[in-house]
């Protein structure tokens, strides 16, 4: 599906997430101020800006790590502003992290399995004897991980490897796998391309597009990323933060021509085009 077609569809899709005038400060430093945007179901929605612009803080507010001082966050019609992170995960919001947050001493498969915890309903007693419902849940969970996630992300060859022994690029892929194990409705991606080489960046972009577009998944994605080539190529819409405030929003083609955005972050338009070659 080409970008223009995706943009047409996204404008017709219902609003899945609304960030309504959120502000948060830390020790007198205003991290984000009066930031608002809407993300429609099925979009890849990117948040860009210079270092310290408030991008990760915004993701942390959406995922529940931070609670905004003011404003609201609405997910599928529900006000989740005061919900703890685990409840947001249960509602279908998953995320990856700017710095990898895996259990380095565990295997790839065990790390991915941790992402299924919100779907496991067995009690302590049944879990301890591993019978009946618990056994069925485990079989279904294992099948989902093996057939839907490991195959998708092409990590069959490392499934039983200890995560801490893997190259950084593969660890990034495992973290994405763990987020997908939640079977999310909304996926928050915090700099998934950071630290990857060109081939790994291309693979990661392909995986994100597959998760967003394939009929089995159709996951809405919010992407925080510094790689402008990736952002401009795969995003439906882009919002731009600078010093904690939104300065622009629109299609990639519109944002990259916005004079205020160019001044704040992207540099000369010619430089932007050069990064995409």
CATH of the domain at 237: 3.40.50.300
DSSP secondary structure code for residue 65 in this structure: S
- The two three-digit tokens of residue 198, written as one number: 């060109």
Contact 166, 108 (CB under 8 A): yes
DSSP bridge partners of 186: 93, 220
- The two three-digit tokens of residue 268, written as one number: 């000369």
Question: Is 267 domain-assigned?
Answer: yes
Number of domains forming the structure of the chain: 1
> Cα(6)–Cα(212) distance, rounded to whole angstroms?
11
Question: Is 48 domain-assigned?
Answer: yes
Q: Which residues of 99-128 are buried (b: 16+ CB within 10 A; e: fewer)?
A: eeebeeeebbbebbbebbebeeebeeeeee
Question: Is 66 domain-assigned?
Answer: yes
> Cα(37)–Cα(28) distance, rounded to whole angstroms?
24
pLDDT in tens, 39-67: 999 999 999 998 889 999 999 999 999 99
Those residues whose C-beta lies under 8 Å from the C-beta of residue 16, and which sit 6 or more positions away, are 39, 40, 41, 75, 76, 185, 186, 220
Question: Is 141 domain-assigned?
Answer: no
Going along 69-185, which residue ranges are E strands? 70-75, 78-79, 93-95
Going along the chain, which residue ranges are E strands? 15-26, 29-40, 44-48, 70-75, 78-79, 93-95, 186-190, 220-224, 237-242, 245-250
- The two three-digit tokens of residue 158, written as one number: 């490392």
Q: What is the pLDDT along the chain (277 residues), one digit of tens a residue?
A: 444 545 555 567 899 999 999 999 998 899 999 999 999 999 999 999 988 899 999 999 999 999 999 999 999 999 999 999 999 999 999 999 988 889 999 999 999 988 887 766 654 444 445 555 667 777 788 888 988 999 999 999 999 999 999 999 999 999 999 999 999 999 999 999 999 999 999 999 999 999 999 988 999 999 999 998 999 999 999 999 999 999 999 999 999 888 888 887 655 444 444 444 4
Which pTM was predicted?
0.86
Question: Is 18 domain-assigned?
Answer: yes
Closest CA to 205 of 181, 227, 178: 227
Question: Is 78 domain-assigned?
Answer: yes
Question: Is 127 domain-assigned?
Answer: no
φ and ψ of 97, to 5 deg: -120, 155
pLDDT in tens, 80-106: 999 999 999 999 999 999 888 899 999
- Tokens 């928050």 correspond to what residue? 188
Closest CA to 69 of 36, 22, 37, 20: 22
Question: Is 138 domain-assigned?
Answer: no
Alpha helices of 46-123 — where are they, by DSSP H? 55-63, 85-91, 108-114
Q: How many C-alpha atoms does 251 have within 13 Å on its Cβ side?
A: 10
Measured from the Cβ of residue 196, the count of other Cβ atoms closer than 10 Å reads: 19
Q: Which domain holds residue 229?
A: 13-92+184-276
φ and ψ of 230, to 5 deg: -65, -45
Q: What percent of the chain has pLDDT over 70?
A: 85
Strands ordered across the beta sheet of 186-190 = 93-95, 186-190, 220-224, 44-48, 237-242, 245-250
């Amino acid at each position: 599906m080409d970008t223009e077609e995706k943009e047409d569809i996204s404008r017709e899709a219902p609003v899945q997430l609304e960030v309504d005038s959120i502000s948060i400060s830390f020790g007198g430093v205003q991290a984000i101020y009066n930031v608002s945007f809407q993300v429609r179901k099925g979009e890849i929605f990117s948040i860009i800006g210079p270092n310290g612009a408030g991008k990760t803080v915004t993701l942390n507010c959406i995922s529940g790590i931070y609670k905004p001082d003011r404003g609201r966050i609405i997910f599928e019609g529900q006000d989740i502003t005061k919900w703890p992170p685990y409840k947001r995960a249960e509602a279908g919001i998953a995320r990856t992290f700017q710095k990898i947050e895996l259990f380095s001493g565990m295997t790839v498969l065990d790390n991915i399995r941790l992402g299924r915890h919100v779907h496991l309903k067995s009690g302590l007693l049944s879990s301890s004897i591993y019978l009946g419902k618990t056994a069925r849940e485990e079989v279904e969970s294992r099948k989902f991980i093996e057939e839907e996630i490991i195959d998708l992300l092409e990590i069959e060859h490392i499934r039983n490897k200890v995560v801490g022994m893997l190259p950084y690029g593969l660890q990034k892929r495992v973290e994405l796998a763990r987020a997908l194990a939640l079977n999310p409705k909304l996926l928050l991606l915090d700099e998934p391309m950071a630290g990857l080489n060109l081939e790994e960046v291309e693979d990661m972009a392909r995986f994100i597009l597959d998760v967003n577009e394939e009929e089995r998944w159709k996951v809405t994605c919010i992407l925080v990323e510094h790689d402008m080539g990736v952002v401009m190529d795969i995003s439906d819409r882009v919002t731009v933060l600078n010093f904690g405030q939104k300065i622009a929003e629109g299609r990639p083609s519109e944002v990259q021509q916005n004079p205020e955005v160019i001044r704040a972050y992207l540099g000369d338009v010619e430089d932007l085009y050069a990064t995409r070659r």
